[in-house]
Structure 1
Amino acid sequence: MALQDLFGVKQKFDRREFLTRSSLGIGAMALGNLLKAETPFQADNPLGGLPGLPHFAPRAKRIVFLFQSGGPSQFETFDYKPKLESMRGQDLPDSVRKGQRLTGMSADQTSLPIAPSLYKFKQYGESRAWVSELLPHTAEVVDELCFVKSLYTEQINHDPAITFFHTGNQLPGRPSMGSWMSYGLGSLNNNLPTFVVLQSKNSGGQPLYARLWGNGFLPTQHQGVQFTSGKDPVLYLNDPEGYDGADRHRMLGYLNELNDVQKSTYGDPEIDARLSQYEMAYRMQSSVPEIADMSDEPDHIFDMYGPDSRNPGTFAANCLLARKLLEKDVRYVQLYHRGWDQHTHLPGGIKNQCKATDQGSAALIKDLKQRGLLEDTLVIWGGEFGRTVYSQGKLTATNYGRDHHPRCFTMWMAGGGVKPGFTYGETDDLSYNIVRDPVHVHDFHATIMHLFGVDHERLTFKHQGRRYRLTDVHGHVVKDLLA
Structure 2
Amino acid sequence: MNPLSLNRRTFLGGLSLSVGMPALQTLMAAESPPLPHFPAKAKRVIYLMQSGGPSHVDLFDDKETLRKMQGEEMPASILQGLRQTTMTAGQKSKPCLASAWDGHRRGESGMWVSDLLPHTAEIVDDLCFVRSLHGEQINHAPAMTHMLTGHNLPGRPSIGAWLTYGLGSMVDDLPSFVVMTSQDRQGSCGQLFFDYYWGAGFLPGKHQGVPFRSSGDPVLYLSNPKGVSRHARREMLDGLSEMNQFAHQRYADPEIETRIAQYEMAFQMQSSVPELTDFSDEPASVLEMYGPDVHRKGSYAYNCLMARRLAERGTRYIQLMHAGWDQHGNLPNQLPIQCKDTDQPSAALVKDLKARGLLDDTLVIWGGEFGRTPFVQGDINNPNAHGRDHHPRAFTMWMAGGGVQPGKIHGSSDEFAFHVAEDPVHIRDLQATLLHLCGIDHERFTHRHQGLDFKLTGTEPARVVKEILAG
TM category, shorter = over 0.9
Moved more, 366-375 or 295-304: 295-304
Q: Determine the structure 1 residue equivalent to 2:346.
A: 361
- CA offsets, 1:48-68, max 9 Å, x none? x96620000000001101100
Moved more, 396-405 or 424-433: 396-405
Residue 413 (structure 2) pairs with residue 402 (structure 1): no
CA shift for structure 1 position 229: 2.4
SS at match of 1:171: coil
Amino acid at match of 1:55: H
8 Å contact kept, 1:69–1:338: yes
8 Å contact kept, 1:71–1:341: yes
Residue 364 (structure 2) pairs with residue 379 (structure 1): yes
Residue 70 (structure 2) pairs with residue 88 (structure 1): yes
Change beyond 3 A, Cα 1:113–1:201: closer
SS at match of 2:448: strand
Alignment of 1:50-61 (within 5 A): 52-61=34-43
Q: Counterparts of 1:287 and 1:235 in 2: how far apart (Å)?
A: 15
8 Å contact kept, 2:177–2:209: yes
Alignment of 1:437-448 (within 5 A): 437-448=423-434
8 Å contact kept, 1:116–1:389: yes
Q: Counterparts of 1:191 and 1:403 in 2: how far apart (Å)?
A: 43
Of 458, 469, 476 in structure 1, the residue corresponding to residue 444 of structure 2 is: 458
8 Å contact kept, 1:92–1:390: yes
CA shift for structure 1 position 147: 0.3
Change beyond 3 A, Cα 1:385–1:201: closer
- CA offsets, 1:39-85, max 9 Å, x none? xxxxxxxxxx9662000000000110110000000011111212211
Amino acid at match of 1:331: R
Change beyond 3 A, Cα 1:207–1:251: same
- CA offsets, 1:200-250, max 9 Å, x none? 156531110111001111111101011122231111111111111111111
Q: Counterparts of 1:352 and 1:271 in 2: how far apart (Å)?
A: 45
Q: Determine the structure 1 residue equivalent to 2:130.
A: 148
8 Å contact kept, 1:8–1:268: no
8 Å contact kept, 2:174–2:269: yes
SS at match of 2:281: coil
Amino acid at match of 2:271: S
Amino acid at match of 1:225: V
Q: Determine the structure 2 residue equivalent to 1:112.
A: 94
CA shift for structure 1 position 251: 1.1
Of 174, 188, 195 in structure 2, the residue corresponding to residue 192 of structure 1 is: 174
Q: Determine the structure 1 residue equivalent to 2:464.
A: 477
Q: Counterparts of 1:11 and 1:293 in 2: how far apart (Å)?
A: 48
Q: Determine the structure 2 residue equivalent to 1:413.
A: 399
Q: Counterparts of 2:26 and 2:132 in 1: how far apart (Å)?
A: 47
Amino acid at match of 2:227: G
Alignment of 1:205-216 (within 5 A): 205-216=190-201
8 Å contact kept, 2:109–2:408: yes
Residue 337 (structure 2) pairs with residue 331 (structure 1): no
Q: Counterparts of 1:397 and 1:125 in 2: how far apart (Å)?
A: 35
Alignment of 1:68-467 (within 5 A): 68-200=50-182, 204=187, 205-396=190-381, 398=383, 400-467=386-453
Q: Counterparts of 1:237 and 1:341 in 2: how far apart (Å)?
A: 34
Q: Which contiguous aligned blocks of 4+ residues in structure 1 show a shift greater than 2 angstroms?
A: 201-204, 397-400
Percent sequence identity over matched residues? 53
Q: Counterparts of 1:418 and 1:111 in 2: how far apart (Å)?
A: 41
Change beyond 3 A, Cα 1:353–1:320: same
CA RMSD, 1 decimal: 2.2
Q: Counterparts of 1:328 and 1:201 in 2: how far apart (Å)?
A: 26
Amino acid at match of 2:466: K
Change beyond 3 A, Cα 1:398–1:12: closer
8 Å contact kept, 1:64–1:380: yes
Q: Counterparts of 1:110 and 1:98 in 2: how far apart (Å)?
A: 14
CA shift for structure 1 position 253: 1.3
Amino acid at match of 1:188: M
CA shift for structure 1 position 264: 2.1
SS at match of 2:59: coil
Q: Counterparts of 1:173 and 1:136 in 2: how far apart (Å)?
A: 39
Change beyond 3 A, Cα 1:392–1:12: closer
- CA offsets, 1:71-112, max 9 Å, x none? 000011111212211101111111001122111110101211
Q: Counterparts of 1:243 and 1:298 in 2: how far apart (Å)?
A: 35
Change beyond 3 A, Cα 1:104–1:260: same
SS at match of 2:273: helix
SS at match of 1:358: helix
SS at match of 1:480: helix
CA shift for structure 1 position 403: 0.4
- CA offsets, 1:313-366, max 9 Å, x none? 111111111111111121101001100000011121111000000000000111
SS at match of 1:193: coil
Q: Return the TM-score normalized by structure 2.
A: 0.92
Q: Counterparts of 1:201 and 1:442 in 2: how far apart (Å)?
A: 27
CA shift for structure 1 position 368: 0.4
Amino acid at match of 2:164: S
Moved more, 91-100 or 111-120: 91-100
Q: Counterparts of 2:315 and 2:161 in 1: how far apart (Å)?
A: 13
Q: Counterparts of 1:12 and 1:247 in 2: how far apart (Å)?
A: 36
Amino acid at match of 2:300: F
Q: Counterparts of 2:375 and 2:457 in 1: how far apart (Å)?
A: 32
Structure 1 alignment gaps of length 5 or more: 33-48
Q: Counterparts of 1:413 and 1:234 in 2: how far apart (Å)?
A: 29
Q: Return the TM-score normalized by structure 1.
A: 0.90
Q: Counterparts of 1:305 and 1:82 in 2: how far apart (Å)?
A: 34
Amino acid at match of 1:426: S
